[in-house]
Structure 1
Amino acid sequence: MSRWGALRAYTSLPAATGRRFLVVTLVGRIPATMGQLGALLLVGGATQSLTLGGATAAAFAVGQAAGGPVVGRAADRYGHRPAGLAAALSHTAALVLLVVCVGAGAPAWASLTSSAIAGFSVPQVGPLSRARWTALAHRGRLSADRLPTAMSFEGTGDEIAFVLGPALVGVIATAASPRTAVLVAAGLTVTTCVAFALHGTATLVGGGRGGSAAAGARVPPVPVLLLAVALTGLGCYFGSTQAGVAWRAEAAGAGGAAGLIYAVLGLSSALAGVLVPMLPASLSLVRRLWAGFVLLGVLSLPLAIIGGSNAGDLWVLALLIAFPGVTIAPILVTAYTLAEMAVPVERISWVMTLLTSSVVVGYAIGALVSGSLADRYGPAAPFLIALAASGVGAAAGTLGRRRLAALRPGTAAAGGAHAR
């Protein structure tokens, strides 16, 4: 198949799920990217305290990191429909409760608790959508050679959501109010996330098909741990880079430009995600993962030098941040594809949410450490931490080369972990 012919593989995806699923899974992941910033703006604006606003956003992130695997485990054990509906309705209620608490002038602990619950109950549309593609491939409804294309579609969807979600919050908060932005996130959750939970593909994973089997299905710990460490490094890269960009924008007296500059990273990543099927088949997934992290570090060097030395205008920063962005979606697509090969389908939802939570944990670590060091030492610290974070991912790929290289499509099934 030619490189351009590989892109035509995207046209086969609607036949496996229907066009409605593609729309629902794309739009359904946007609310999860709105909550953290929405909570920060809502609480920070109402209390005139960025410290409390930041703490509320942090509570959302901590809840999301902790709740992701719980939602995934419930989806494997009880099915995507009950787990997805419970998460979507709980998330919606928690966001509305946050708005009510802030509007009523409730104590700070009430806002923090509401935000943490909202984060904990994020419906996890992206990871669960990946689990459904995996199940489709295992059930023979999606050709095995189309699964990487489906994962590329998912990676691109993630990047689009990470760009559109915060941008949507900013636009709505400016045009109306932060309160409206949070309520819009709640409205999107109760519509699109519920639609995702009820879609016919939900019956392919967990519940009656794997509820009891999920408890006994074995997850190989080493490959999953290696992938989780690698994606924690990637998340740390996100948080550190964002902290460095925010410092530069604030120093230039254009704090609002930080979001726009950081969005360039997501846009270039989304474009690269679309083109992942064009990568040569001769490049193994393990080498692709390692090379992705190495290239991420190399392409980040100009950004670290210019950004860290406080040289150049902000438009230069926006240009330089586009280059490392082209490696991010390929890294994510590769990591999730390797996870699919390693894990029995009865536990795929849990592992996909675990990997997504690893990114969230890494982001929180990067943002916290880099933000603190940037206040003391300037922008060089966060950009250097970002380089180190890319090294963590490369190291995980190197140390796990043999374990990950041994994975093949159907490896978990061959080990007796599940039946198709």
Structure 2
Amino acid sequence: MQPVSASLNAARCSVTYGAVLRVPHVARLLTSTLIGRLPSGMAPLAIVLVGLDGGYGTAGALAACYLLANAAGGPVLGRLVDRRGQTRVLTVSALIATAGFALILVNDSQVLGALIAGFARPPLDATQRSLFRPLMPDRDHEHVVLALDASAQELIYIAGPLTAAAVAWAASAQTALLATAAIGLVGTLLVVTSPPSRAWRPTPRAADWLGPLRSTGLRRLYAAMACAGVPMGAIVPVAVRMGDRLQAPGLAGLLPAALSVGAVIGGIVYGARTRTGPVYGHLLLLCAMWAAGWLPLMAATGPVTAVAACLVPGAAMAPLLSAAYILTAHSAPEGRATEAAALLVAALDIGCAAGTAAAAAPLGLLLLPVGGAAALLLLVAGPTGDRRSLPFSAPAQTREAP
């Protein structure tokens, strides 16, 4: 790979968010997928609220079933999308997920319903990123729109629980669950009826059961992102314990919200800046920031300092995810971009689930920096060559129509 010259970097204008949003169909795709992915933030709380009639243990088990099934189903549906196209797979999966949510309301079928709803949740985060690439005129635009999407995604985890709680308070937990299903279905239909999604066609590829997992570099990246996901899952139980220790129960909700707010701010700032150098180098730096960013929270002595400290790792979270998605997209085997992105989401989900479970231990607070540090170690020992030298900026290139 030839290096990008200094003169080319100097001549390149920074791509703005406005320029990206003016690209045809981008604004609709961002809005539609935000609606379709809102259940990711609503469903866990809505399921817990419905399951509380059976006790906290039952409620937690139902939510865990949903999350684990989601991690398992995403790559399967991603592979189907890469083989059959988006329209049929996303529409059918959305209908099945809706039926699964309804089944949770039937007492004897709650576990089955949670498994169905989780497994069939449309992988909109993965499919959207496969739509962005052919729409963008060059790699600069692609990286900015991915940074914008990573920031916007954090709004889901702020607005989702608030929406579920508001509907449950105004009506009932059952209504909140049905609203979750309806919003997911509407958002998915908005995506599949968009021109880019309807025009998207699978790329012919050789049969391979391992798919993206055959790539050593991607396997290492997935393992690293699973480690990076541990603090994302651990923050909720850690926040509960910290709230008890500091006699501030409100921290249970405030700390995860502060993390998401920090991610929104960090992602927007990161996407607005002109980036140079290899993507892999940015990923290493962001992983180091993700690990070190938790240290102020561990030293917090009061509720206010704890909330402020949680903004620090949040500022690295969305940029970290953006860089990981960029590397995944450019490392994916031909015709397997959706599956590769879905596997990245699954790795993060598995890490989140592990972090949530392990954070209940007495030393659960240590998981926050340790998860990021483990991810950094895996990446430092990662692949060399084209994957490490993939630059952020590249000349505009002709892309095939979607």
TM-score of the superposed pair, with normalisation by structure 1? 0.85
- Name the count of aligned residue pairs: 385
Shift of 1:344: 3.7
Q: Work out whether residues 135 and 204 of structure 1, in 8 Å CA contact, stay in contact via their aligned partners in 2.
A: no
1:187-233: CA deviation from partner (whole Å, max 9, x where unpaired): 10121112112222114544xx42x4364696461121122112111
2:67 aligned with 1:85, yes or no?
no
2:120 aligned with 1:121, yes or no?
yes
1:97-119: CA deviation from partner (whole Å, max 9, x where unpaired): 212x1xxxx23xx2111111111
Gaps of 5+ in 2: 1-8, 395-399
2:93 aligned with 1:98, yes or no?
no
Q: Distance in 2 between matches of 1:387 and 1:347?
A: 33
Q: Distance in 2 between matches of 1:395 and 1:370?
A: 21
Classify 1:153/1:280 alpha carbon distance in 2 versus 1 (closer, same or farther; 3 Å): closer
Matching of residues 53-92 of structure 1 within 5 Å: 53-92=59-98
Residue of structure 1 in register with 2:205 after alignment: 213
What amino acid is the match of 2:373? Answer: G
1:225-277: CA deviation from partner (whole Å, max 9, x where unpaired): 12211211121011122221111224455545412221110111011111223
Q: Work out whether residues 265 and 315 of structure 2, in 8 Å CA contact, stay in contact via their aligned partners in 1.
A: yes
RMSD: 2.6
Shift of 1:58: 0.4
Shift of 1:33: 2.0
Shift of 1:301: 0.8
Residue of structure 2 in register with 1:394 after alignment: 376
2:218 aligned with 1:224, yes or no?
yes
Residue of structure 1 in register with 2:188 after alignment: 193
Residue of structure 2 in register with 1:24 after alignment: 32
Matching of residues 310-389 of structure 1 within 5 Å: 312-371=301-360, 373=361, 377=362, 381-389=363-371
Q: Work out whether residues 136 and 204 of structure 1, in 8 Å CA contact, stay in contact via their aligned partners in 2.
A: no
Gaps of 5+ in 1: 307-311, 412-417
1:41-73: CA deviation from partner (whole Å, max 9, x where unpaired): 1111x22x0000000000001100100101101
Shift of 1:175: 2.7
Q: Work out whether residues 236 and 362 of structure 1, in 8 Å CA contact, stay in contact via their aligned partners in 2.
A: yes
Q: Which of 255, 269, 276 is residue 270 of structure 2 equivalent to? A: 276
1:115-162: CA deviation from partner (whole Å, max 9, x where unpaired): 11111111121121111112434xxxx323211011112201211112
Q: Distance in 1 between matches of 2:234 and 2:278?
A: 29
Q: Which has the higher helix share?
A: 1
Residue of structure 2 in register with 1:237 after alignment: 231
Structure 1 SS opposite 2:74: helix
Residue of structure 2 in register with 1:414 after alignment: none
Structure 2 SS opposite 1:66: helix
Residue of structure 2 in register with 1:296 after alignment: 290
What amino acid is the match of 1:385? Answer: L
Structure 2 SS opposite 1:282: coil
Q: Work out whether residues 10 and 150 of structure 1, in 8 Å CA contact, stay in contact via their aligned partners in 2.
A: no
What amino acid is the match of 1:245? Answer: A
What amino acid is the match of 1:12? Answer: V
Q: Distance in 2 between matches of 1:24 and 1:157?
A: 12
Classify 1:213/1:10 alpha carbon distance in 2 versus 1 (closer, same or farther; 3 Å): farther
What amino acid is the match of 1:405? Answer: R
Classify 1:316/1:324 alpha carbon distance in 2 versus 1 (closer, same or farther; 3 Å): same
Identical pairs, percent: 23
What amino acid is the match of 1:34? Answer: M
Superposition misfits of 4+ residues, deviation over 3 angstroms: 203-206, 214-220, 250-257, 406-411
TM-score of the superposed pair, with normalisation by structure 2? 0.89
What amino acid is the match of 1:177? Answer: S
